[in-house]
Structure 1
Amino acid sequence: MARSSFFQASTLLSSFLALANAQSSYPSATPTTSAQPVFTIPASADEGADVLPNILDPQAVNAQDVCPGYKASQFKEDERGVTAILSLAGAPCNVYGNDIESLNLKVEYQSKDRLAVNIRPTYLDASNSSHWIVPEHLIPRPQQEDSNEDLDLQFTWGNEPSFWFTVTRKSSGDVIFTTKGTHLVYEDQFVEFVNSLPEDYNLYGLGERIHGLKLNNNFTATIYAADVGDPIDRNIYGSHPFYLETRYFEAGSGKYKKPLKESDLNQRNFNFGSKRSGKGSPYESASHGVYYRNTHGMDVKLSPTNLTWRTLGGEIDLFFFDGPTQHEVTKQYQKSAVGLPAMQSYWTLGFHQCRWGYRSWAETKEIVETMRAFDIPMETIWLDIDYMDKYRDFTLDPVHFSPSDAVDFFKWLHGNNQHFVPIVDAAIYIPNPQNPSDAYAPYTRGNESGVFMTNPDGSQYIGAVWPGYTVFPDWMSTNGVSWWVKEMVEWFKEVPYSGFWVDMTEVSSFCVGSCGTGNVTLNPAHPPFQLPGEVGNIIYDYPEAFNVTNATEAASASAAASSQNAAKSTATSSSTSTVYLRTTPTPGVRNVNHPPYVIDHVQGDLAVHAVSPNATHANGMQEYEVHNIWGHQIINATYQGLLSIFPGKRPFIIGRSTFAGSGKWAGHWGGDNASKWYYMYFSIPQALSFSLFGIPMFGVDTCGFNGNTDAELCSRWMQLSAFFPFYRNHNVLSAIPQEPFRWASVAEASRTATHIRYSLLPYMYTLFHQAHTTGSTVMRALAWEFPNDPQLAAVDTQFLLGPNILVTPVLEPLVDTVKGVFPGIIDGETWFDWYTGERVNAEAGVNTTISAPLGHIPVYIRGGAVLPLQEPGYTTTESRRNPWGLVVALSREGEASGELYVDDGESLEPGEVLDVSFKACDGVLKVDVKGEYKDTNALGNVTVHGVYGGVGDVRLNGKEVGKEKVVYEQAKGVLRISGLNGLTEGGAWKEGWSLSWT
């Protein structure tokens, strides 16, 4: 969590304090008792210069108007690509930096589905190469492949009015990227190029931010890692300069001449039948992807007909992925460019419980026991910074989380087949040199090894985070990674964790610059703001409908808010016009702290709440060049640490700041959201975006992190998150506890949803294996799975888990119905209700009203699917010992298919596996088994949806199954076959078999 978001949260008003004191089931909101610092860092330490984003600055110069662009010469082309020299086409403009007069252009036909365009300065030496070139050992660059297949993407160029280039699909003539009619601007602190797009384009990605799935066409997507509590539409933790674009065309028109505009469609209620003759959608689509391999801060300005790319430096290193479907684009991007997602251990797919506010091993154990008492499955308990000694990494609070008590706690927890994950922050405490008792071994060992970032003058860069003044690991130093690994290994001897949760990794600092220089004798210091739970800093906010659903508490909240607002109204304020800092280029000098071009960064000044851009790495690079990958690098270091602790097993990491490729090591959570209905909604497009980015292990703080949830919101959210890959409940110290057992209705809703989730774990695990081996997605947007329906282009209130589970959650309060579309019906798809097995009666392209009383989340199975299930246990370990089951959902043609992947659930490179395939046709289900992994669990039951017109004898491998084991609900078309355990002794997948019901 970015606990720094309490700057915002602490201003919210209500009566929580009185409420918490009145309810003994809520622990009191008090900070960790071991943290009682004397000196508080002044708030002014985190105040930067007043800067105005270029896109909002009325004085800003449009580089396209004043810069001359470049002319290409010395053009050479062969079967592997193109090279040329680009020379400045006129007088330098030096608008936001110093113009580079000569550039190298290199175009590579890298593979059958990937084209690369690279532009960098002609002259590079050791003194300036790091300004431009991203080292390949940090962010691997896709390489040219030997391929006999022709690339469908074609590169063309021209010199009028200045150099431009176009990328076109040869097969269709569709121009997917062109800079024609614009100027290339290439300066030492500013690079700009513009590519045209069709009207009403469908663009996804360019994260991380809280935004709808489809990006607006009048919007600036800023990419700069920021420690900030989930503002809407602004840059937050991750940096993913990748987008997917989808274009829709009239079906059967041959080459793609003109993509459809939004005005061509009657959104939501378009009658497909009116524009088609015969069966099927009247439209088809084509998708492609673009990856900009650049680690600098950037603005991507989305205008109605183009994108303007503006970075604070670096080379232009573009990669185009041909697609032409979303599935193929994502696979091409992950497999060849950034790496395939990590395979998750089976246990990580269970439910995780966390809270900032568990105050001891005893209380933590009580939470685990209470979850079991309420029969709410829980796999993993997490701890926030409460467990630390004065908020220092790799320590335990000696009073409340003593090492001696830890021994008994972990023996008990692991004995129940449950897991533990602690939070670990990015910054390392620097001890007070005048206080021998303040010694801190991780710092001492790191300092002796030279692993911390420095100031430009070589002195140690000292910022401030939770424990006070801190230093920051330099992952480019010789010993940085090995030091971190050793600290993890040593701490594991005391705290036998199962995975790592790395936080504050943007990298965050609570002051501008090296504020700790000369101040270390003040350590331990208090952060420059109140911590949650301290006097006067309680979280007071409640969900939007709280006053209706929780009238008593709401009345108390209103009274408290009124009294505090009255007190605030007596204060006076004055306003003055802001004088903004604007800098101009200086020849031979880069102003890295305040570059002339100001990106639309959520914090304004780049050094606010972050390590400053001039912080220096061992190889001479500055944070200015690589700020966006600090979080990516600590994830890599943590991955190496977990491999050392668990040799041969899959590391489990949840990280906050990510970059392109972080998914090959870790998952991600959505950061510091709030207990608001709109944050529950935004969790869906955020998760879908991370599917594109190659980080499928994604979830959010269920029920909300900041503010107080209530029973209705938490009930709906617990059920929604049960269908996310990463499923965790977590909230802030000073809000009311929100474990699902706190309300009877939430407990029941959680049990129902978790039962479904745990039943589906074999299906989810198979999806993860497919993602890990092919780059496919786990959570999917409807538009990606049904690419011929333009009405689905912006749908992000529903989603698919894999190809076959459709989830339509309630995302607003005080309702008992929800509207949802059933995709693909125009093309003959059919859907079945998860709970009843009945076929859904819905029209193509029409929102259907679905009953959804509190406690019920609508879930549907796609016709044509065979779903492998397993009887759920309390933990994933228990679940894996239970009988198997199958749900066969027949298509309208009476067919279905599916897959199951089974291994030991934890090995990095499993020696033995099972690949099971299912095929149903003509009333017979056939199962084919390949592999040597031994699974001895029997098959318990098979349920078949879509069986109409009666059934005959049910036979397994030709042997009749007793009639007492068969129930046929003809009106619903559901055939249920149970009690198969005795017929499949030795294991359901011991060998292939067939089941017939005709």
Structure 2
Amino acid sequence: MKEFRPLWALLSALALVTTSHGVGVNAETQAANDAYLTTSGYFVSNVADSGTSLKLQLERNMTITNSTYGDDIDTLVVEVTKSSLYSKGLLGSNTSKTIPWSTIESTTVFSYTPNPFTFQVARKSDGYVLFDSSALSLVIKDKYLQVATAVSDDINVYDQGSAVHDTNLYGSHPFFMGINGDGKAHGVFLLNSNGMDMTLENDKIVYQTMGGILDFHIVAGPSPADVVSQYTALIGRPKLMPYWSYGFHQCRYGYNSSAALREVVRQYKAHNIPLDVMWADIDYMKDYEDFTLDPVNFPESDMTKLLAEIHDAGQKFVPIIDPGIPDDESLYAYTRGLEMDIFMTSSDGKPYLGQVWPGPTYFPDFFHPDAESYWVEQLSRMHELMQYDGIWIDMNELSNFCNGLNCSRSDNVTCPNADSQTTCCLVCTDDENEWNHPPFAINNDGDQTPIYYKTVSASAQQYGGVQQYNSHNLYGFTEAITTNAVLESVFNKRSFVLSRSTFAGAGAHTAHWTGDNAATWNDIQWSIPTILNFGMYGIPMIGADICGFADNTTEELCARWTALGSFYPFARNHNVKDVNSQETYLWDSVAEVGRKFIGMRYRLLPYLYTLGYESHTTGIPIAQAMFFEFPDDIIARTSPYLDNQFMLGRSLLVIPVLTEEA
């Protein structure tokens, strides 16, 4: 479904999976960053070595100070453990949700210079420096943290968050892999859920966050597969997906009746093109309200009949759910949510009001201890209404059609329904607080757009007084965790969840797709590095909307994309309403490609499922860049065509046609 992408996440200057350190940031990104801060940093005032961890107390040097973005924190504590480097400012007001992480035995060595304080982390086996903070001043303020690592001449840096230039991300993954000249790899992960910029320059990678702590986890490899295995041992191994989810999927925003869904299923069968899963976007809902059926176009009686037909044919059905619950007194999910006090609140303690497809809405707080029982109840009631097999959770960055301020209904304005809801109909005021207007502005929406733009207010609160300023990037992650747990409870078997928003560790709970792409040759090319990046994040069940989501596709583009998409780990054709239909069977040439390549995918299903199991047990991606299999080959690491091809496991190389009239 097409809408805004308001995730406060790292906006990498370069998002190609193969990025040489010698390529700098683009001019727009550099201008947005302005100058990095320079101070005289900190000195080590005390050292405590317990034998299992090293704790350093730092005091601020006063020689060079800089009050930009606020006052520096005077005293810091740096804690180094065998499994991670942990740097924490002693900020009494700083709160964050505790996330459990497993640990791994260290293969690194930590060293430091006491004044000014800088640190290095090196690989124990060969002494190669993996992280060197001397590249830039260490700056720690209440709402601005700055640290950098030097980048050596012989290293190639892969990923940085999958940003497509100046567009926001659907998820936050502050992780990169570096491979040096001899083919040895390492990984660096910053566990921080605050908004941030992460910028690759000629000689360094710079982290600038709006707050939180610096919680670095550095893994030493030495192979790319080792790096991802070590990283996923930290954040959680990928979920083992059900076998049927590796089949072919069909979806569209714009299937406006149960009869339309039935006809699509019928046409795939008539054209002898494999189809395992039929999807439904928000069209099936009554007035776009969650946990409902449109009684006119999707009557319960016909949906029951349709799903029986689908299931009798061995196929599955996956509908969409958005997090926004409309303030409709006739909707049980709304009244039950108020009764359980389950919704996110404004700074005044009242439920936070936003607006999405059904109109004015409240948002469930998945930090709340009763969130899972609330979600169990709603999804169980929905399953009684229609026998779905998986759930698609969308708009969960959070997306909001109003600009995230303190909003209320107006007595003089009636909110329209249907698609015109994308225009805010609420009365919203800006309380000008420090959360919505922090001193440091990240590169939001390709500019320094306020962080409340098209999302909820940064001052909105979740359970325990946690503010969205700190927890925003965790919303979709916590919804995915809850939804996955609920479905396994409802079905008592392996579940399938697809989430638009993700965070580090989300692959243990959900699949993902690359979001609202367009039917362009540029977007088919971009799909490959994005999929490869997400494999490195520990989200191997990943795919792009085949044939493109927005705009009208063409017969040639759809044929090429169907051939490529047949080898995505997650293969789904999906597009928006009010553009031309693009089901695989609509053109004779595309139908023939579908029969050939989707058919080939089905012959490979045992292999794909085995790769999914391997990923579940080791973390190694299903779709891999060439350097995973050939790390010692400089061409596999640096070729300009690296992001135009990929390996499926260790045995299949996929080289698609990505240019028009080739």
TM-score (norm 1): 0.61
Match of 1:614 among 434, 459, 463: 459
- Between the aligned partners of 1:446 and 1:208, the Cα distance in structure 2 is 35
1:319 aligns with 2:279: no
Residues 831-873 of structure 1: CA deviation (Å, up to 9, x unaligned): xxxxxxxxxxxxxxxxxxxxxxxxxxxxxxxxxxxxxxxxxxx
> What is the aligned partner in structure 2 of residue 117 from structure 1?
85
Q: SS at the partner of 2:292?
A: coil
- Between the aligned partners of 1:87 and 1:142, the Cα distance in structure 2 is 31
Residues 95 and 345 (structure 1), Cα distance of their counterparts in 2 relative to 1, 3 Å cut: same
Residues 712-763 of structure 1: CA deviation (Å, up to 9, x unaligned): 1000100101011100001111001000110000000010001111111111
- Structure 2: where are the runs of 5+ without partners? 6-26, 424-429
Q: Partner amino acid for 2:73? A: I
Residues 181 and 750 (structure 1), Cα distance of their counterparts in 2 relative to 1, 3 Å cut: closer
Q: SS at the partner of 2:120?
A: strand
Q: Partner amino acid for 2:389? A: S
Matched-pair contact (CA < 8 Å) for 1:667–1:698: yes
Cα distance, 1:298 vs. partner? Answer: 0.5
**1:847-866 to 2 correspondences below 5 Å:** none
Q: Partner amino acid for 2:75? A: S
1:77 aligns with 2:49: yes
Residues 941-996 of structure 1: CA deviation (Å, up to 9, x unaligned): xxxxxxxxxxxxxxxxxxxxxxxxxxxxxxxxxxxxxxxxxxxxxxxxxxxxxxxx
- Between the aligned partners of 1:3 and 1:813, the Cα distance in structure 2 is 28
1:457 aligns with 2:348: yes
> What is the aligned partner in structure 1 of residue 31 from structure 2?
56
Cα distance, 1:531 vs. partner? Answer: 7.2
Q: SS at the partner of 1:768?
A: helix
- Between the aligned partners of 2:118 and 2:311, the Cα distance in structure 1 is 61
> What is the aligned partner in structure 1 of residue 585 from structure 2?
741
- Between the aligned partners of 1:152 and 1:406, the Cα distance in structure 2 is 56
> What is the aligned partner in structure 2 of residue 596 from structure 1?
439
Q: SS at the partner of 1:423?
A: strand
> What is the aligned partner in structure 2 of residue 328 from structure 1?
226
Matched-pair contact (CA < 8 Å) for 1:53–1:598: no
1:167 aligns with 2:118: no
Q: Partner amino acid for 2:487? A: L
> What is the aligned partner in structure 2 of residue 340 from structure 1?
237
In terms of Rg, which structure is larger?
Answer: 1
Q: SS at the partner of 1:448?
A: helix
Match of 2:71 among 81, 98, 104: 98
Cα distance, 1:622 vs. partner? Answer: 0.6
Q: SS at the partner of 2:255?
A: coil
1:392 aligns with 2:364: no
Cα distance, 1:527 vs. partner? Answer: 7.6
> What is the aligned partner in structure 2 of residue 439 from structure 1?
330
> What is the aligned partner in structure 1 of residue 394 from structure 2?
503
Match of 1:808 among 648, 655, 662: 655
Cα distance, 1:95 vs. partner? Answer: 1.8
Residues 248 and 520 (structure 1), Cα distance of their counterparts in 2 relative to 1, 3 Å cut: farther
Residues 181 and 387 (structure 1), Cα distance of their counterparts in 2 relative to 1, 3 Å cut: closer
Q: CA RMSD in A?
A: 2.2
> What is the aligned partner in structure 2 of residue 196 from structure 1?
150
Q: SS at the partner of 1:724?
A: coil
> What is the aligned partner in structure 2 of residue 471 from structure 1?
362
> What is the aligned partner in structure 2 of residue 153 from structure 1?
108
Cα distance, 1:391 vs. partner? Answer: 0.6
- Between the aligned partners of 1:471 and 1:521, the Cα distance in structure 2 is 21
- Between the aligned partners of 2:291 and 2:107, the Cα distance in structure 1 is 52
Cα distance, 1:439 vs. partner? Answer: 1.8
- Aligned-pair identity in percent equals 37
> What is the aligned partner in structure 1 of residue 247 from structure 2?
350
Matched-pair contact (CA < 8 Å) for 1:207–1:235: no
Q: Partner amino acid for 1:734? A: D
Residues 69-122 of structure 1: CA deviation (Å, up to 9, x unaligned): 111121133542311101111165332123211111110113xxxxx1112134
- Between the aligned partners of 1:141 and 1:476, the Cα distance in structure 2 is 17
Residues 878-926 of structure 1: CA deviation (Å, up to 9, x unaligned): xxxxxxxxxxxxxxxxxxxxxxxxxxxxxxxxxxxxxxxxxxxxxxxxx
Residues 375 and 527 (structure 1), Cα distance of their counterparts in 2 relative to 1, 3 Å cut: closer
Match of 2:132 among 167, 178, 185: 178
- Between the aligned partners of 2:87 and 2:112, the Cα distance in structure 1 is 14
The 4+ residue runs of structure 1 with deviation greater than 6 A are none
Cα distance, 1:406 vs. partner? Answer: 1.4
Matched-pair contact (CA < 8 Å) for 1:669–1:699: yes
Q: Which gives a bigger RCO, structure 1 or 2 (Cα 8 Å, sep 6+)?
A: 2
Q: Partner amino acid for 1:2? A: K
Aligned length: 628
> What is the aligned partner in structure 2 of residue 636 from structure 1?
481
Matched-pair contact (CA < 8 Å) for 2:135–2:204: no
> What is the aligned partner in structure 1 of residue 10 from structure 2?
none
Residues 166-197 of structure 1: CA deviation (Å, up to 9, x unaligned): 01123222111111253210000000011101
Residues 777-817 of structure 1: CA deviation (Å, up to 9, x unaligned): 110101121001122224110111000001110001111xx
Q: SS at the partner of 1:372?
A: helix
Matched-pair contact (CA < 8 Å) for 1:469–1:520: no
Residues 3 and 233 (structure 1), Cα distance of their counterparts in 2 relative to 1, 3 Å cut: closer
Matched-pair contact (CA < 8 Å) for 1:119–1:316: yes
**1:778-927 to 2 correspondences below 5 Å:** 778-794=622-638, 795-815=642-662
Matched-pair contact (CA < 8 Å) for 2:238–2:540: yes
Cα distance, 1:529 vs. partner? Answer: 5.3
Matched-pair contact (CA < 8 Å) for 1:486–1:641: no
**1:255-270 to 2 correspondences below 5 Å:** none
> What is the aligned partner in structure 1 of residue 204 from structure 2?
306
> What is the aligned partner in structure 2 of residue 826 from structure 1?
none
Matched-pair contact (CA < 8 Å) for 1:469–1:525: no
- Between the aligned partners of 1:384 and 1:405, the Cα distance in structure 2 is 17
Matched-pair contact (CA < 8 Å) for 2:189–2:216: yes
Please state which structure has a larger fraction of its residues in helix. 2
1:401 aligns with 2:274: no
- Between the aligned partners of 2:466 and 2:167, the Cα distance in structure 1 is 27
Cα distance, 1:322 vs. partner? Answer: 0.9
**1:674-685 to 2 correspondences below 5 Å:** 674-685=518-529
Cα distance, 1:205 vs. partner? Answer: 2.7
> What is the aligned partner in structure 1 of residue 275 from structure 2?
378
> What is the aligned partner in structure 2 of residue 240 from structure 1?
173
- Between the aligned partners of 2:193 and 2:421, the Cα distance in structure 1 is 33
Residues 674 and 349 (structure 1), Cα distance of their counterparts in 2 relative to 1, 3 Å cut: same
Q: Partner amino acid for 1:191? A: L
Q: SS at the partner of 2:338?
A: helix
Residues 444 and 334 (structure 1), Cα distance of their counterparts in 2 relative to 1, 3 Å cut: same
> What is the aligned partner in structure 2 of residue 206 from structure 1?
160
> What is the aligned partner in structure 2 of residue 417 from structure 1?
314
Matched-pair contact (CA < 8 Å) for 1:419–1:498: yes
Cα distance, 1:615 vs. partner? Answer: 0.8
Matched-pair contact (CA < 8 Å) for 1:469–1:523: no
Q: Which moved more, 1:163-172 or 1:367-376?
A: 163-172
- Between the aligned partners of 2:527 and 2:154, the Cα distance in structure 1 is 24
Cα distance, 1:521 vs. partner? Answer: 8.6
Cα distance, 1:609 vs. partner? Answer: 1.0
- Structure 1: where are the runs of 5+ without partners? 6-51, 111-115, 211-231, 250-284, 432-437, 533-580, 584-589, 816-998
Q: SS at the partner of 2:585?
A: helix
Cα distance, 1:346 vs. partner? Answer: 0.6
TM-score (norm 2): 0.91
Match of 1:626 among 456, 471, 475: 471
Matched-pair contact (CA < 8 Å) for 1:354–1:730: yes
Cα distance, 1:318 vs. partner? Answer: 0.4
Cα distance, 1:776 vs. partner? Answer: 1.4
Q: SS at the partner of 2:643?
A: coil
Q: Partner amino acid for 2:607? A: Y
> What is the aligned partner in structure 2 of residue 760 from structure 1?
604
Residues 545-585 of structure 1: CA deviation (Å, up to 9, x unaligned): xxxxxxxxxxxxxxxxxxxxxxxxxxxxxxxxxxxx9x9xx
